[in-house]
Amino acid sequence: MTLVLDPRHAAAIGRHGEADYPAEACGLIGGAIEGDRKIAVQLVPLANGRTDSARNRYLIDPESFRRAQERLDRDGLEVIGVYHSHPDHPPAPSAFDREHAWPWLSYAIVAVAQGRAGELKSWVLADDRGAFDEEAITIEERKAVWQ
Amino acid sequence: MAVKILIPTPLRPYVDGRDTLELEGASVGELLERLAGEHTALKQHLFAADGRLRSFVNVYVNDRDIRRLEHQETRVSPGDTVSIIPSIAGGTGGAVADQRPKLSHEEILRYSRHLILPDVGVEGQKKLKAARVLLVGAGGLGSPAALYLAAAGVGTLGLVDFDVVDKTNLQRQILHGTSAVGTPKLESARARIQDLNPNVQVETFETRLTSENALDIIREFDVVADGTDNFPTRYLVNDACVLLGKPNVYGSIFRFEGQASVFYAKEGPCYRCLYAEPPPAGLVPSCAEGGVLGVLPGIIGSIQAMETIKLIVGAGEPLIGRLLLFDALKLQFRELKLEKDPDCPVCGRNPTVTQLIDYEAFCGIGAEPVYDGADVTADEVQDELDAGKELVLLDVRDPHEYEITHIDGAKFIPLGELPARLNELDDHADVVTYCHHGARSLKALEILKAAGFAKVRSLRGGIDAWAVNVEREMPRY
């Protein structure tokens, strides 16, 4: 599948990563499925639940997930992915990311080096949980407006 | 009637794209087993290799987390709704293992009274060891806070202070001893903390916290404990913490009363929600001007240490959204509820303060009227008196200060009584007003000038300067 982001979404993910630097920023991506495209409609920035080691960990607790899911549900959207930042690390999933990953969801990771957002990549967990496969990101301006 | 199971989006591909399933079962464990049995590809995402439910898979029965019920043994009845809710974790760094520091044998012994507490335990103690706490000010509040946080095993303590230990500090600033008088506070603080607990890393910042350096310093810490004694720094600490998303454990003291709260804009109000603007400059006296009972910072600073530890360990209910008021004379604690101000200029919906500002100007400091040539030094007054000049020395301090010491022959009228007692003074006389350090005597000068006194000056540095430069046998306070 391909993750389709509006340029504003890509910019907003970068800005969130910069704002929370050197901690990891995280949030959910709400959207809809069209064929083999996961189309992002709305980002839900969330507070990083890991206050103890926010520099290299993030956590979206089930309560936050539930609330975000309910909100998206009202707009007819669903959680299609998660984004988070890797402060001073490349935008590739770590072993820790893989161990804790959910299948099917897009894991968008933005590298934030020295407080500046850089490359954005998306990853999907392989069905056997053995690896993360890179997923194509298409940046295109969203014409239709759902809400 | 069966139990309804809600499937989150990431798992729907494994159940033919459906978002709801209906299954029969008496307990959560039984339902999940049946679910994984019917949809085999689902199993590895729900259960780890050892058969336990994966840590990031959360199951709710109706609205309740089964971890708060009886886990997988939780009973379900027809008509109940079971939801599978993801928690999502990740991060950089390869190791899957616990990232928290290990405790040495020495630490296990040292912290044994913590380790046997159910709400702290080994996990909590490791969190304390991994934590970085910044104390702004190593004075009255910072002293007990630093001592208890160091003793408790906080891994890194940052200290910001630029002051030198003064004898008048020793009555309450228990980090510093008599032998440290005249040396930088950070030096004696470091020595005392290292002696108390050599496991603690002390990072010192010998500087005034300013709009230029605050973000860089605070960014590196997890929690800030504010022990400042002035409004510009208090607003600076608040705003920097809001901008960086850090909790700010606040305490303040005056005479016999203290306040404490935890300002954490992510979860509650900030200091500006409580006090949007500072009081007019000079209205609220500092400890140096107003005095403070020495034990009081011990109580408030210890509360700050307690709240800091609770935030780190995640135990209990933090003082977020509550303002604790303490009255030492009545020995009474009261609590006010604090609401987040939606129009707060820093943490509100549409913040107008999005970067650090000039806090001295914001608090009206530096905007005080300047009286050129209106002040006079202690030596000059002494010379004039020696030369036989007729001077009226006007002491405008409070009666209890007058009792400690005063200049012989001075006329004594407390500042508050001055406007009503102007008739006791000759408006043609050459008046020199004085107080403790020179602030109140400028106000007295202002009152006298406004009343038409022509020759008024204020003693620069107050009676303290007089004791240092002229009457050296006079006690200082």
In DSSP notation, B262-298 reads EE-TTTS--HHHH-SSPPPTTTS--HHHH-B-THHHH
- Structural domain boundaries of chain B? 3-86, 131-362, 375-469
Q: How far B457 CA lies from chain A's nearest CA (Å)?
A: 53
Q: How confident is the model at residue A147 (pLDDT cuts 50, 70, 90)?
A: very low
Residue A145 pLDDT: 45
Residue B93 pLDDT: 45
User: What is the C-alpha to C-alpha distance for residues A1 and A124, in angstroms, rounded to an integer?
Assistant: 9
Residue B53 pLDDT: 84
Asked whether the beta carbons of B458 and B371 are under 8 A apart, the reply is yes
Q: Tens-of-pLDDT digits for all 477 residues of chain B?
A: 689 999 888 888 888 888 899 999 999 999 999 998 888 888 888 888 777 888 788 898 988 888 888 888 899 999 899 999 888 877 664 322 334 688 999 999 999 999 998 888 998 999 999 999 999 999 999 999 999 999 999 999 999 999 999 999 999 999 999 999 999 999 999 999 999 999 999 999 999 999 999 999 999 899 999 999 888 899 999 999 999 999 999 999 988 999 999 999 988 999 999 888 777 666 666 666 678 899 999 999 999 999 999 999 988 899 999 999 999 999 999 999 998 999 999 999 888 998 998 888 887 765 444 555 688 999 999 999 999 889 999 999 988 889 889 999 999 999 989 988 999 998 888 999 999 988 888 889 888 988 888 889 999 989 999 999 999 899 888
* Residue that has been written with the tokens 């002390």 in this structure: B202
- Structural domain boundaries of chain A? 2-139
Q: What's the CATH number for A2-139? A: 3.40.140.10
The per-residue pLDDT for range A95-135, each reduced to its tens digit, is: 778 878 889 999 999 999 988 999 999 999 888 887 888 99
Which residues of chain A make contact with B14, given a CB cutoff of 8 A?
A: 103
Asked whether the beta carbons of A71 and A61 are under 8 A apart, the reply is no
Residue B282 pLDDT: 61
Four-CA torsion A88, A90, A96, A97, nearest 10 degrees: 120
User: What is the C-alpha to C-alpha distance for residues A7 and A79, in angstroms, rounded to an integer?
Assistant: 19
User: What is the C-alpha to C-alpha distance for residues A100 and A84, in angstroms, rounded to an integer?
Assistant: 14
pTM tops 0.90, yes or no: no
Mean pLDDT of chain A: 86
Residue B92 pLDDT: 63
User: What is the C-alpha to C-alpha distance for residues B210 and B207, in angstroms, rounded to an integer?
Assistant: 9
- Domain B375-469 CATH superfamily: Rhodanese-like domain (3.40.250.10)
Query: Of 3.40.190.10, 3.10.20.30, 2.60.40.420, 3.10.129.10, which CATH number belongs to B3-86?
Result: 3.10.20.30
* Residue that has been written with the tokens 């204020």 in this structure: B458
Query: Of 3.50.50.60, 3.40.50.720, 3.30.230.10, 3.20.20.10, which CATH number belongs to B131-362?
Result: 3.40.50.720
Residue B241 annotated among the catalytic residues of the structure: no
The residues of B whose Cβ lies within 8 A of any Cβ of A are: 8-14, 41, 44-45, 55-56, 58, 60, 65, 83, 85-96, 99-100, 127, 130-131, 219, 222, 245, 266, 311-312
User: What is the C-alpha to C-alpha distance for residues B462 and B458, in angstroms, rounded to an integer?
Assistant: 8
Sign of CA dihedral A8, A9, A15, A19: positive
Select which of B287, B344, B347, B363 is catalytic: B287
User: What residues contact residue B203 under an 8 Å CB cut-off, 6+ apart?
Assistant: B156, B157, B158, B159
Residue B51 pLDDT: 78
Comparing B364 with A30, the larger pLDDT belongs to A30
User: What is the C-alpha to C-alpha distance for residues A9 and B100, in angstroms, rounded to an integer?
Assistant: 34
User: What is the C-alpha to C-alpha distance for residues B410 and B425, in angstroms, rounded to an integer?
Assistant: 12
Between A51, A87, A104, which is nearest B10 by CB? Answer: A104
Cis peptide before A22 (omega within 30 of 0): yes
Residue B454 pLDDT: 84
Asked whether the beta carbons of B143 and B304 are under 8 A apart, the reply is no
Count of alpha carbons within 13 angstroms of residue B412, beta-carbon side: 13
- How large is the C-alpha radius of gyration of chain B? 31
3-state secondary structure of B404: helix
3-state secondary structure of B379: helix
Asked whether the beta carbons of B20 and B7 are under 8 A apart, the reply is yes
Four-CA torsion A31, B9, A26, A40, nearest 10 degrees: -10
Q: Which amino acid is at B423?
A: N
Residue A53 pLDDT: 66
Name the strand (E) or helix (H) holding B365. none
